Amino acid sequence: MMIDFILIVSFAAAGAFIGAVTGIIPGLHTNNIAILLLAILSAAGIGIYLCILIVAAAISHTFLDIIPSTFIGAPEEDTALLVLPAHSMVLQGRGYEAICISALASLASVAVCFALLLPFRFVMEEPINFYEIIEKNMPWILICISAIVIFTNENIWKAILIFLLAGIFGMVIIDLNTSFLIQSSPIFPALAGLFGAPALLYAEKKILPEQNLEAEEIRVKKRDIGGGVMAGGIVAILPGVSSAIASTLALALKRERSNEAIVAILSATNTATNFFVLASLFIILKARSGFAIVMREFINVEKWSGFLIPYPYNLLLIAVIVSSTISYFLTKHIGKFVAKNISRISYRRLIRISISIILIMVFLFTGFLGLLIFGVASLIGITCLEMKVRRSVCMGVLLVPLILNYFL
C-alpha cells in the first residue's frame, strides 16, 4: 500500500517535471509526450503509472506555459489571448507578478474544480444530462461567443473584417498537413503569428525595465477563477472545441479588462479545461484531448455512475493534486529566474531572440509551410493592431471553421 502511494507520488512528480519542460518550450505539447510514451512503453505493463505521469504532465503544462507566453510572446492555443496583457506587464516591470497571478489562478482553479467535480458529474450526466443540451446547441453557443467578441469592439465593422479575415484564413489552413519533424497542426504557427509576433513587434518600449521580483501580495478574484472554471468545464466536454474557445468564452463575458484579471481568468480556464477533460473521460466516456485518448489506450476506463469516484480516476486525482502543488512552486521559481535575468538583455535583443525562438520552433514543428502560415497570420495580427480592434477577434481563426463544421 505504502509502496503504491510512493509510486503514485513519484510518477506524478515526474509528470509535473515533464509538463514543466513541455510548458516552457513553445509549440511542444503534452500530447506529443503522451504519444511518445504510447509508442515506447505500451507493452511495459505499467499503464496506470503512465496515466498518472501523463495527467500530471498535462496539468503541469497549463501552469508553466505562461512563461514563454509572457516573456517571449510565444503563445499556444490556450495562452494566445494571454500574450498581450502578460507581455504588457513585462514592459511595466511586472512580468514576475503576471507569472505569480497565473500560478495562483491555476492552483485556485484546481481547488474550485475539485469542489465542483461531484456537481459536474451530476449536471453533465444523469439526472440532468446538460451535456446533451450543450452538444445540441453548440453551434449557437459558438455564434453567440463570436457575436460578443465582435460587438464588444468600438468599431464593429473593422472587428467584423478582422474576424472574417481570420476565419477565412482558419478555413484555408485547418486541413493543411504541416507535420515536419514531429506530428503537429497548423494551429501553432497560426496563433504564434496572430498573437505572438504582433505583440513583440508593436511593443512601444525600447528598454526592458528591471523586473520587480517582490510579488508578495498577489490576489486573484473569486469570480475570475469561477468564470474560468465554468468556461473550462463547458468546453472540455465538447468535441473539437479547444481551450482557446474556453478562453474566448471566459473573456467575452468579462467586462472589466485589467491585465491582471485577464491573466487570472485565462490561467484558470486553461488548467480547468484539462481537469475537466480528465473528468469527461470517466463521466461521459469521451476523450476530448490527445492525452485522454492515449490514456484510454493504457487503462480500462469505467464510467463514473454513482457517488464514489471510481478506480483509477481516484489515483489520477491524487496525481492532479501532487502535480499542481509542484507546478505552482516550479512556475514561480522558473518565472523568477527568467524575470531576474531577462532585464539584463536589451529589449531590442530580447525581441530578436524571442522572434528567433518562435521561428525556429515553427520551422522545427511545421516546416516551410508553417513559416508561411506564421507570416500570413502575423500580417492579420498586425492589421488587427493597426485597426485598434481587440485581439480576441482573431479567434475567428478557430471559431469560423468550427461553426461551419457544424452546419456543413
Partner 1 sequence: MRKIYPLLAVIGIIFLYFISIFSEPTEIELKDLWKYEGKEVVVEGIVKNKAGDVIEISDGNATGKIYCEGCDEIEYGDQIKARGKVGEYGEELIIYAEKVDILEKWKENAISLPYLAENYEKYVGMNVNVTGYIYSKYTGYFYLSDEYMDYKIRVYYNETIPFEKYERVCVKALFFYNPKNCNFYLKICQPFHGVECYDD
Question: Which residues of this chain interact with partner 1, rule CB under 8 A?
Answer: 35, 165, 168-169, 172-173, 175-177, 179, 183, 185, 239-240, 285, 287, 290, 293, 369, 372-373, 375-376, 379-380, 382-383, 386-387, 405
The Cα 115–Cα 299 span in angstroms is: 26
> Minimum distance from CB of 177 to partner 1 (Å)?
5
Q: What is the DSSP string of 42-101?
A: TTSS-HHHHHHHHHHHHHHHHHHTHHHHHHT----GGGGGGHHHHHHHHHTT-HHHHHHH
Nearer to partner 1, 232 or 290 (CB): 290
Nearer to partner 1, 41 or 369 (CB): 369
Strands (DSSP E) along 149-299, which ranges? Answer: none
DSSP 196: I
Nearer to partner 1, 173 or 395 (CB): 173
Nearer to partner 1, 9 or 293 (CB): 293
> Minimum distance from CB of 362 to partner 1 (Å)?
15
The Cα 263–Cα 274 span in angstroms is: 17
Nearer to partner 1, 123 or 201 (CB): 201
Distance between first and last Cα of the chain: 53
> Minimum distance from CB of 173 to partner 1 (Å)?
6
Which phi and psi (to 5°) does residue 65 adopt?
Answer: -70, -5
> Minimum distance from CB of 28 to partner 1 (Å)?
16
Residue bearing cell 498586425: 382
The Cα 285–Cα 143 span in angstroms is: 27
Contact between 288 and 277 (Cβ < 8 Å) = yes
The Cα 43–Cα 323 span in angstroms is: 25
Nearer to partner 1, 357 or 387 (CB): 387
> Minimum distance from CB of 294 to partner 1 (Å)?
9
User: Which residue, 395, 371, 390, is CA-closest to 176?
Assistant: 371
For 315, the enclosing helix (H) or strand (E) is: helix 313-342
> Minimum distance from CB of 185 to partner 1 (Å)?
8
For 123, the enclosing helix (H) or strand (E) is: helix 95-124
Alpha-carbon dihedral of residues 48, 54, 59, 63, nearest 10 degrees? 150
Contact between 98 and 263 (Cβ < 8 Å) = yes
Contact between 97 and 85 (Cβ < 8 Å) = no
In the structure grid, which three cell numbers stand for residue 230, read together? 465554468
> Minimum distance from CB of 168 to partner 1 (Å)?
6
DSSP 387: T
Distances (CA, A) of 315 to 8, 308, 373: 7, 13, 41
Nearer to partner 1, 317 or 380 (CB): 380
Nearer to partner 1, 242 or 324 (CB): 242
Nearer to partner 1, 69 or 378 (CB): 378
Alpha helices for 152-191 (secondary structure H): 156-173, 187-191
> Minimum distance from CB of 379 to partner 1 (Å)?
4
Nearer to partner 1, 326 or 372 (CB): 372
> Minimum distance from CB of 119 to partner 1 (Å)?
25
